[in-house]
């Protein structure tokens, strides 16, 4: 028997939970579309270096992958073959799944396939990953436990599901929101472990490194006052991250807008690949219902619903593959899933505590180290050295050139880092090779330079060296460049 006061308290708690940790179904629909677009963008950007990063002819052959990452390499379907055609097939399959997810066609199946293929792709070359890749993987995982296809999807239109309740308030919706908040909280804790963020110097150091700055970044570099303001403003905003789940309606919308502006600012100034896009997508579930009411009114006045109906009628009707369970069994399954999600949340918190050094998880050789996979971009302190590669090489004609630039060998800072690091993932790979002194990667890099040069020049490369040039960040003036050779040999020995 339930007393009125118990019933009232229960209702109050449920309402509080739904308003703070529930997600609007239309936000989930937009989240699904954004994930599909993001996966497509990620595949397109990675495809530019498909041969170099994901085949045995590139910088990380499977033999080297297994030696460096004995645990992660077992998770990769992409590591079943080192051939280019095999990787192309998997890329095309992943693109098809991402497109199905975007349209909301067999949404859960498409999301599951996308998650498996993304984990496989990331495990094929961990040396090119950053925090954005890790967050994207987690967003897909939590999305599997939520009805992403219940609104604004071909699934919903085919099954006439658009009359469902507006809000989803479950353990999985709470986990999705808390995952994002936890990323921000752990990030600010990492930054507090250093000294430069608290002194207002960290952003100045980041913008002083030309290998990172893009678009408006070089314009802002050297302007101490605005960069110091950005430094303290970002730290303050990160400290407010818990308010994303403690507030509602217009206050929450303002906070989401502030975080979105910060990530757009990162996108326009610092080249870190898809990282800012992932952060923007992660904010979508926080957008409150009054925003989606306005969006839905505009959509209903557009021609999109009618076009979706036409497309839904032309495609085979999606079948509901979820088995129908008796009411009692369904309740038990729902509660069991909630328990599992709560345990995963506890594990997630423990993992992040270990990445911060608060918990010692032990481990042995070959195990995954949480401290190597934390939310610590530019933290505890940003890098304070600029690193670039120089590849002194001799051609068969006796000419001495830099195999990277095709010009005379020089140790002076390059006028542009575009040829040094054509993409953010190249920069991540080569910086990891430098930081961890991965001679095998540097040798493979030399082999790729030989192959590229010999394919476009009559006088092939005979000998080549891989050297690093390092210059300390120069807030008060340029520092001297130091350099050392990491590998040298003949091109013939690598064919």
Percent of the chain exceeding pLDDT 90 equals 60
H helices of 104-170, where? Answer: 107-124, 131-143, 154-159
Give the residue from 428, 454, 333 showing the smallest Cα distance to 125.
428
Locus of tokens 């926080």:
286
146 and 81 in a common domain: yes
The per-residue b/e assignment along 22-38, b for 16 or more CB within 10 angstroms, e otherwise, is: bbbbbbbbbbbbbbbbb
Last residue of a domain, one of 271, 298, 319: 319
Contact present, 190 and 457 (Cβ < 8 Å): no
Is 60 exceeded by the pLDDT of residue 470?
yes
Determine, yes or no, domain membership for 2.
no
> In this predicted model, which residue has the larger pLDDT, 346 or 146?
146
**pTM recorded for the entire structure:** 0.91
Q: Are residues 45 and 78 in the same domain?
A: yes
Note the pLDDT of residue 144: 95
417, 280: one domain: no
User: 488: domain range?
Assistant: 385-494
The reply to whether 281 falls in a domain is yes
229 located within any domain: yes
Both structure tokens of 16: 């509080």
> Are residue 212 and residue 352 in the same domain, yes or no?
yes
- pLDDT digit string (tens) for 384-442? 888 999 999 999 989 999 999 999 999 988 888 888 898 999 999 999 998 888 988 99
Query: Quick one: DSSP state of residue 393?
Result: E
The answer as to whether 48 is a domain residue is: yes
For residue 260, give both structure tokens: 């979105």
Residues 223 and 309 both lie in one domain: no
Domain boundary among 363, 383, 403: 383
Last-in-domain residue among 383, 404, 423: 383
Question: What's the residue count for the chain?
Answer: 495
Report yes or no on 1 lying in a domain. Answer: no
Question: Same domain, yes or no, for 397 and 275?
Answer: no
Q: What is the mean pLDDT of residues 365-374?
A: 54
The region, left, alpha or beta by phi > 0 then psi within -120 to 50, assigned to residue 297 is alpha
Classify residue 4: in a domain, yes or no: no
Looking at residue 127, the DSSP 8-state letter turns out to be: G
Judgement on whether residues 115 and 19 belong to the same structural domain of the protein:
yes
Residues 116 and 218 both lie in one domain:
no
CA nearest neighbour of 182 among 346, 26, 337:
346
Do 243 and 360 lie in one domain? The reply is yes
Q: What is the mean pLDDT of residues 183-198?
A: 92
| Per-residue model confidence as pLDDT tens digits over 445-458 | 999 999 889 988 88
Query: What is the tally of structural domains in the chain?
Result: 3
Please indicate, yes or no, whether residues 30 and 93 belong to a single structural domain of this protein. yes
Range scoring the smallest mean pLDDT among 172-176, 177-181, 381-385, 461-465:
381-385
Chain segment 192-213, per-residue pLDDT in tens: 999 999 999 999 999 988 889 9
Same domain, 189 and 263: yes
Same domain for 224 and 350? yes
Position 395 in a domain: yes
Has residue 322 got a pLDDT over 60? Answer: no
pLDDT number for residue 366:
46
């Amino acid at each position: 028997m339930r007393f009125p006061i118990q019933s009232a308290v229960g209702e109050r708690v449920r309402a509080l939970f739904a308003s703070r940790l529930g997600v609007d179904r239309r936000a989930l629909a937009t989240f699904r579309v954004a994930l599909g677009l993001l996966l497509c963008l990620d595949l397109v950007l990675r495809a530019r270096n498909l041969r170099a990063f994901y085949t045995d002819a590139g910088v990380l052959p499977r033999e080297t992958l297994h030696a460096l990452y004995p645990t992660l390499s077992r998770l990769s379907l992409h590591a079943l073959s080192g051939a280019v055609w095999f990787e192309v097939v998997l890329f095309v399959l992943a693109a098809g799944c991402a497109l199905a997810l975007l349209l909301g066609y067999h949404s859960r199946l498409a999301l599951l396939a996308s998650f498996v293929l993304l984990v496989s792709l990331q495990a094929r070359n961990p040396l090119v990953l950053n925090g954005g890749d890790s967050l994207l993987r987690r967003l897909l995982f939590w999305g599997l436990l939520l009805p992403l296809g219940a609104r604004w999807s071909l699934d919903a239109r085919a099954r006439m599901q658009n009359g469902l309740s507006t809000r989803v308030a479950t353990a999985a919706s709470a986990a999705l929101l808390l995952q994002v908040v936890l990323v921000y909280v752990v990030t600010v804790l990492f930054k507090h472990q250093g000294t430069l963020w608290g002194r207002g110097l960290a952003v100045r150091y980041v913008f002083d490194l030309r290998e990172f700055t893009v678009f408006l970044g070089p314009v802002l570099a050297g302007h101490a006052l605005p960069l110091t303001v950005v430094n303290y403003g970002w730290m303050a905003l990160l400290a407010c991250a818990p308010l994303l789940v403690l507030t509602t309606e217009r206050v929450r919308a303002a906070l989401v807008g502030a975080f979105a502006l910060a990530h757009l600012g990162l996108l326009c100034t610092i080249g870190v690949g898809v990282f800012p896009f992932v952060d923007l997508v992660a904010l979508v579930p926080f957008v409150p219902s009054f925003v989606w009411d306005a969006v839905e009114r505009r959509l209903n006045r557009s021609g999109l619903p009618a076009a979706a109906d036409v497309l839904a009628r032309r495609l085979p009707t999606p079948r509901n593959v979820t088995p129908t369970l008796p009411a009692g069994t369904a309740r038990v399954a729902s509660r069991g899933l909630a328990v599992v999600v709560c345990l995963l949340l506890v594990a997630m918190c423990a993992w992040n505590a270990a990445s911060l050094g608060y918990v010692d998880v032990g481990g042995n050789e070959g195990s995954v180290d949480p401290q190597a996979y934390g939310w610590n971009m530019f933290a505890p302190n940003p890098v304070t050295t600029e690193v670039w590669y120089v590849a002194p090489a001799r051609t068969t004609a006796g000419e001495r050139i830099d195999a990277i630039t095709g010009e005379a060998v020089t140790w002076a800072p390059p006028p542009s880092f575009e040829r040094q690091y054509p993409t953010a993932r190249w920069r991540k790979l080569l910086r990891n090779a430098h930081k961890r002194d991965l001679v095998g990667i540097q040798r493979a890099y030399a082999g790729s330079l030989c192959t590229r040069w010999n394919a476009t020049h009559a006088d092939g490369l005979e000998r080549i060296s891989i050297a690093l040039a390092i210059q300390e960040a120069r807030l008060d003036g340029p520092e001297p460049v130091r350099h050392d050779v990491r590998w040298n040999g003949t091109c013939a020995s690598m064919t």
